[in-house]
Structure formats: structure tokens, C-alpha cells
Amino acid sequence: MFPRLIFTAALSLLAWVHGAASADAVLRFVDSEGAHSQMLVKAPYARMDIVNGGSGSTGYMLFYTGDRSLYVVDDGSGTYMPLNEDVIDAQKRALDQMIDDMRSQIRELPPEARAEMEHQFGIGVEAGPVEVSTRPTGREQDQQGLRCEEKEILVAGQVQHVACVADAETLGLSAVDFETINALMERLFDLSKRALDAGGPIATAMGSNVIPRLDGVPLSVRDVRDGVTTRLVGISTDPISPELFRIPASYREREPF
């Protein structure tokens, strides 16, 4: 449900290095598989592409810092839906019901195939708090002429991602710009952590795509499982139309399922 969304949001903090006085910015990203995405910021609003694999943008997310509201907008179907705790819980119930309906079929499979299906759908993954933390590696890098410090992101004690983080204050970030992005980061973390803690298939679907506050500006984030690295590749600080931060009036709200 969060195809590298959290990493893109984290990387967006870097944009303010060159445009701290501006309230508007368009940030462009690319990962090592060639998938492009962008994020638009007009404090107190943010808009972020949703990219699925290498197929390109299928829609976007809208965020407002005032009430921490987050919406998923699908241009293809002309629909939108809120993304909040109720939606996460509804998705968990729906996935749990789907697995319950499949249990009899899964039990009839050969042992090896059954074990694979149980792993794939998170059967037996118990609910409970999952620890998510960061750990400095002690190494530094020079990226785009900027020094950054490596930090490992651990989920349940296992390193899942490595971010290279620069100090936000030394980069001259304005408070309003930083807080808009930071608020989005925290909102995405809260929701993804809720899914991870829920256990079962929704936790398996979430995997380790959870990134906590890094107390700095990530210049890049690398997934240690598949080696995919997402980097900021461009920025524009031209004014952005407020219309881009509104859901079109013709779009209809849809149910999570």
C-alpha cells in the first residue's frame, strides 16, 4: 500500500537546501530501477506521487498538516479515499477474513506449498508491538557535494534500510517547510507502524516499509533486501498552483475495499 512512499517523503527534506526561503517546491526522484516520482510542497500542504513498481504514477497522496489528514487520489478511476487508522483497521479485517476463507484450501496443499502460502499471507504472524529504530554506522559520505551520516533503519532488530542523513539545521531549512515534510513523515510512520503491529497478512504486506524520524535530512535511502536506492535528482522552486492540492470536485469517495 505504500510503494516506497515513506522513502520518497524522507528524501524530500533535502530540497530545502537550495530553497529554504520558498514555500513552494517540486522535488523529483528516481530509484535505481528507473522509477520516477515527484513531490510538491506548498506549506501547510504536500502532494506526493504514488508509484507502483516501474509502471509509473497511478495517482497521488494529499496531506494537510492542520489536522494531519491524508488522502489517496486515483486519477485513473476518478476516486479518492481517506487514509487513516480506520482504513488500516478495515484493511486488516478484510485481509483476515480473506485468509480465513482460504484456510481450508491451504490445508489441503502439500506441506511445502502450504508453508510457502502461509509465509506469503502472513499466517501465524502474531499481533504486537514491533520495534523500529535507527543506528548510526559511524560512516560518512559525500553526496551531491554534501556530507551526510549513514544511519541504519532496523525493524525487529534487523537492518532493512540504510539512509545517508545530513543535519537539517546546518542546511538552513525554514521552520514551516521542514515541519510540513516532517509532519507527513510522522503521519506515514504512524499508519505503517499500526499495520506492522497488527500482525497477520497486513503486517506481511507492509513488510519492513516503515521508516522512523531520522532527525536530519536523508539524501538517499537504500533497501538492503533488494538493493534499490532512491535519490533526489532535481528540484524547482517555482510557485505552485493551489489547485494541485485540492481533490477535483468531480471525483467520488470510494470505500477502502
Range from 17-31, 50-64, 90-104 carrying the lowest mean pLDDT: 17-31
What's the gap between Cα 124 and its chain centre?
Answer: 25
Tell me, what's the pLDDT at 2?
Answer: 45
Q: Where are the alpha helices (DSSP H) in the chain?
A: 5-11, 85-107, 111-120, 175-197, 200-206
- Nine-digit cell at 199? 500482525
Name the pLDDT band for 213 (thresholds 50, 70, 90). confident
Q: At a CB cut-off of 8 Å and minimum separation 6, what does 35 contact?
A: 4, 51, 53, 54, 56
Evaluate if residue 15 carries a pLDDT over 80.
no
Q: Is the pTM value of this prediction over 0.85?
A: no
At 124-183, the pLDDT tens digits run 666 678 889 999 999 999 887 778 899 999 998 999 999 988 776 655 556 676 777 788
Q: Do residues 20 and 177 lie in contact, with contact meaning Cβ atoms separated by under 8 Å?
A: yes
Kindly state the DSSP code that residue 108 receives in the 8-state scheme: T
Average pLDDT score over residue span 42-66: 81
Tell me, what's the pLDDT at 68?
Answer: 95
132-143 β-sheet, strand order: 132-143, 146-155, 158-166, 217-223, 229-236, 24-31, 36-42, 45-51, 57-64, 69-74, 79-82, 252-253
Please state the domain extents for the chain.
5-130+175-214+232-253
Evaluate if residue 112 carries a pLDDT over 50.
yes
User: Residue type for 144, please?
Assistant: Q
